[in-house]
Amino acid sequence: MSYEIVNRPHQQNFIDWSADKPEVVVLTADLTNSCEVGRWRDTYPERFFSMGMAEQNMLGVAAGLAREGFEPWLHTFAVFLYRRPLDQLQMSIAYPSLKVRLVGFLPGIMTPGGVTHQAIEDFAVMRAIPNMTILEVGDATEAESVIDVAHAVDGPVYIRQLRGEVSRLFPKDEPLVFNHARVLSEGEEITLITSGIMTEEALRAMPLIKQKGVLVKHLHVSTIKPFNDPQVVSAVTSASKGVITMENHSIIGGIGSAVAEIMAEHGAAVPLRRIGINDTYAHGASQKHLMEELGLNAQSLVAAVEGLIGRNLHIAAEDLAAARVADVHSAAKAEAL
Amino acid sequence: MTKTQRASDQWLTEVAKGIRQRVLGHSLKNNGGYMSQACSAAELLSCMYGGLIDLPEVPEPLLPRPFAGTPGIAGKNRETGIEFHGGRKPDRDRLISSPAHYALVIYAAMIESGRLHEDALNDFNKDGSTVEMIGAEHSPGFETTTGSLAQAISQASGIAIARKIRKETGNTWVFMSDGEFQEGQTWEALQAASFHNLGNLKVIVDVNQGQCDGPMDQVMSIEPLASKIEAFGWEVVRVDGHDTDAIFDAGKTVTDKPLMILCYTDPVRGLPIMQSRFPTLHYLRFTSETEKATYAAAYQEMSK
SS3 A303: helix
CATH code linked to domain B9-56+81-302: 3.40.50.970
Cross-strand bridge partners of residue A119: A107
DSSP string covering A9-65, please? Answer: TTHHHHHHHHTT-TTEEEEESS-TGGGT-HHHHHH-GGGEEE--S-HHHHHHHHHHH
- Pick the residue of B155, B168, B185 with the most A CBs within 10 A to test the interface with A by mutation: B155
Q: What is the tens place of the pLDDT at every residue in B118-165?
A: 999 999 999 999 999 999 999 999 999 999 999 999 999 999 999 999
Domain ranges of chain B: 9-56+81-302
**Residue B123 backbone dihedrals phi, psi, to 5 degrees:** -95, 0
For residues A308 and A272, give the distance between their C-alpha atoms in angstroms, rounded to a whole number. 9
What CATH number belongs to A11-168? 3.40.50.970
- Hey, are the CB atoms on A60 and B160 less than 8 Å from each other? no
Residues of chain B contacting residue A45, judged by C-beta atoms under 8 Å apart: none
CA distance A21 to chain B (A): 14
- Is residue A244 a contact partner of residue A307, using CB atoms and an 8 Å limit? no
Of A49, A61, A97, which has the smallest distance from its Cβ to B71's Cβ?
A97
**Angstrom distance (rounded) from CA A13 to CA A19:** 10
Distances (CA, A) of A69 to A25, A53, B159, B232: 11, 25, 10, 29
Residues of A in contact with B70 (CB under 8 A): 95, 130
Kindly list the residues from chain B whose CB atom is less than 8 angstroms away from the CB atom of residue A47: 165
| C-alpha span between B3 and B11 (Å, rounded) | 10
Query: Domain A182-319 adopts which CATH fold?
Result: Rossmann fold (3.40.50)
Domain boundaries, chain A: 11-168, 182-319
**What residues form DSSP beta bridges with A243?**
A191, A272
- B185·A56 Cβ contact <8 A: yes
Q: Would you write out chain B's pLDDT as a tens digit for each of its 304 residues?
A: 466 689 999 999 999 999 999 999 999 999 889 999 999 999 999 999 999 999 999 999 999 999 999 999 888 899 999 999 999 999 999 999 999 999 999 999 999 999 999 999 999 999 999 999 999 999 999 999 999 999 999 999 999 999 999 999 999 999 999 999 999 999 999 999 999 999 999 999 999 999 999 999 999 999 999 999 999 999 999 999 999 999 999 999 999 999 999 999 999 999 999 999 888 888 899 999 999 999 999 999 998 8
Contacts of A87 in chain B (CB under 8 A): 148, 151
Kindly state whether A61 is in contact with chain B, defined as any CB-CB distance less than 8 angstroms.
yes
Q: Chain B residue closest to A53 (CA)?
A: B188
- The shortest CB-CB distance from A54 to any of B76, B146, B192 is to B192
Q: Which of B89, B172, B185 to mutate to test the interface with A (most CBs of A within 10 A)?
A: B185
